[in-house]
Amino acid sequence: MTTPSPSAAMALDDVVARLAQHPRIDGLVLVGSAQGEHLPAYADYDLVIVLAANPLRLHVGVTTIDARLTDLIFVEKSHVQAILDAKHPVDPGEWTGRLVAWLQEGTVLFDRHGALAAAHAKVTTTSLLRPLDATDVTQACFGLNYNVAQTARLLTSDDPVYQLAALVRMQWFGVGDLLA
């Protein structure tokens, strides 16, 4: 049996205040559909958590905050610094590029050292994402087609290990390939 997270009944502001107390958290950015005063019923929270360091290399998680499904996205502060140091557009498929996109659309909720505010100001006043080119499109198409073919192959097997592998692939590669 699973135990609900204490954050399931907490307001987002309370969760932010609690997370801000943790010394390893440098910043928090709210992105996605749950921004603004009036949240649609379907809106989930997408919370980018900027860590001083990420020794476990954990990049995504899921929880519930205020009875809303919440995607947690973990980014190291080195990516914030890379934005501040960038002299040329960055690759939108890399973590620094993803952070650029999140900062362009997101709301900074907590900023321990002021670096997120500076990065937010930079990405909203300069064109910092490298435009996609034909190679990016080709790679995305190849990746999608390859993963569909491999998953379909696994699903033809009666072996429970292959069935489980197909389920894992559908969870692992599905949305990630569309966003990368």
The answer to whether residue 84 is domain-embedded is: yes
pLDDT of amino acid 57: 85
> Number of folded domains in the chain?
2
What does the block give as tokens for 14?
A: 């309370």
Predicted confidence (pLDDT) per residue in 133-164, tens digit: 888 788 778 777 877 888 888 888 888 888 88
Full-model pTM: 0.76
pLDDT of amino acid 27: 98
Q: How far apart are CA 1 and CA 3, in angstroms?
A: 7
Predicted confidence (pLDDT) per residue in 39-98, tens digit: 887 788 999 999 999 888 888 888 999 988 899 999 999 999 999 999 999 998 899 999
Whether the per-residue pLDDT at 105 is higher than 80: the answer is yes
Q: How far apart are CA 107 and CA 117, in angstroms?
A: 10
- My answer on whether 55 and 84 are in the same domain is yes
The answer to whether residue 99 is domain-embedded is: yes
> What is the average pLDDT value for the chain, to the nearest integer?
87
pLDDT of amino acid 173: 64
Domain span at residue 95 reads: 6-125
- My answer on whether 104 and 159 are in the same domain is no
- My answer on whether 87 and 111 are in the same domain is yes
pLDDT of amino acid 134: 86
Q: How far apart are CA 94 and CA 112, in angstroms?
A: 24
Q: How far apart are CA 147 and CA 166, in angstroms?
A: 10
The answer to whether residue 1 is domain-embedded is: no
- My answer on whether 83 and 156 are in the same domain is no
Closest by alpha carbon to 76, among 52, 101, 109?
A: 52
- Please state, as a whole number, how many other Cβ atoms lie within 10 Å of the Cβ of residue 156: 8
- My answer on whether 173 and 93 are in the same domain is no
